[in-house]
């Protein structure tokens, strides 16, 4: 029993085609790779068109917001990069997005990602979540990890010892990250196998 839905066969072909790659490069993979690059580029355009550009264009042409003409011009300037004589104009589009992007980072990153994280490390050193020394370990762990990243101080003596301890703490953290990622990657594969077995081959329900 297999599905008679041609679309599912297409999806199954692409799935199996990509899976040939870990066993060696081959023309089937290369075919899938080309289809992937092509459809992804096409999707980028259509998704933006339907969800953003078209509705904005409507607002502009119906006169709801005439000011939108400015971002339309600025955004389209990016394409001047293909015309050598005026390619510098594309910098205006980049400058605008970068200005907004960097202003945004300066406005919203510092409090939650630095100040709040520092405050969250103000722990009562006499207790802990699981063992009684957890808070001491956490506070010292954060400090030594940061000390490892001192680049203008030589890693000698006390700083050197702290930096080495920092590397150990980070290795534990990175090991934990590796270990918990295994589950993520197996899930991805399972998702595809579940598709093949359920939707294509009807082997499981």
Q: Is 2 in the site for another protein (CB under 8 A)?
A: no
The CA–CA distances, whole Å, from 160 to 32, 82, 137, 163, 170 equal 51, 52, 18, 5, 15
Contacts of 145 (CB under 8 A, 6+ apart): 166, 169, 170, 173
25 vs 61 by CB, closer to another protein = 25
List the interface residues with another protein, window 179-198 (CB under 8 A): 179-195, 197
List the interface residues with another protein, window 48-107 (CB under 8 A): 48-53, 55-56, 59, 67-68, 70-72, 74-76, 78-79, 81-82, 88, 90-107
Q: Can you tell me the distance from the alpha carbon of 166 to that of 163, in angstroms, rounded to the nearest whole number?
A: 5
2 vs 70 by CB, closer to another protein = 70
What is the x/- site pattern for another protein, positions 131-170, by CB under 8 A?
Answer: x--xx-xxxxxxxxxxxxxxxxxxx----------xxxxx
Q: Can you tell me the distance from the alpha carbon of 173 to that of 175, in angstroms, rounded to the nearest whole number?
A: 5
Q: Can you tell me the distance from the alpha carbon of 129 to that of 135, in angstroms, rounded to the nearest whole number?
A: 8
What is the x/- site pattern for another protein, positions 23-52, by CB under 8 A?
Answer: x-x---xxxxxxxxxxxxxxxxxxxxxxxx
113 vs 161 by CB, closer to another protein = 113
Q: Of these, 115, 132, 161, 202, which contacts another protein (CB under 8 A)?
A: 115
In angstroms, give the least distance from the CB of 30 to another protein.
6
Q: Residue 88 gets which letter from DSSP? A: G
Q: Can you tell me the distance from the alpha carbon of 6 to that of 118, in angstroms, rounded to the nearest whole number?
A: 56
């Amino acid at each position: 029993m297999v599905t008679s839905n041609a679309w599912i066969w297409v999806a199954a072909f692409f799935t199996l085609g990509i899976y040939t790659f870990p066993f060696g490069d081959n023309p089937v993979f290369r075919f899938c790779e080309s289809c992937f690059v092509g459809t992804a580029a096409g999707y980028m355009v259509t998704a933006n068109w339907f969800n953003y550009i078209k509705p904005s264009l409507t607002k502009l042409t119906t006169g709801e917001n005439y000011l939108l003409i400015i971002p339309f011009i600025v955004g389209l300037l990016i394409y001047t990069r293909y015309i050598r004589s005026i390619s510098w104009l594309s910098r205006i589009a980049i400058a605008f997005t970068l200005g907004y992007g960097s202003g945004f980072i300066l406005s919203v990153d510092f409090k939650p990602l630095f100040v709040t994280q520092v405050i969250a490390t103000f722990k009562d050193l006499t207790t802990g979540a699981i063992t009684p020394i957890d808070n001491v370990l956490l506070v010292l762990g954060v400090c030594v990890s940061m000390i490892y990243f001192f680049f203008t101080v030589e890693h000698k003596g006390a700083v050197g010892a702290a930096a080495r301890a920092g590397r150990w703490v980070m290795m534990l953290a990175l090991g934990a990250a590796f270990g918990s990622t295994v589950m993520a990657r197996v899930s991805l594969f399972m998702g595809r196998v579940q598709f093949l077995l359920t939707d294509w081959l009807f082997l499981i329900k």
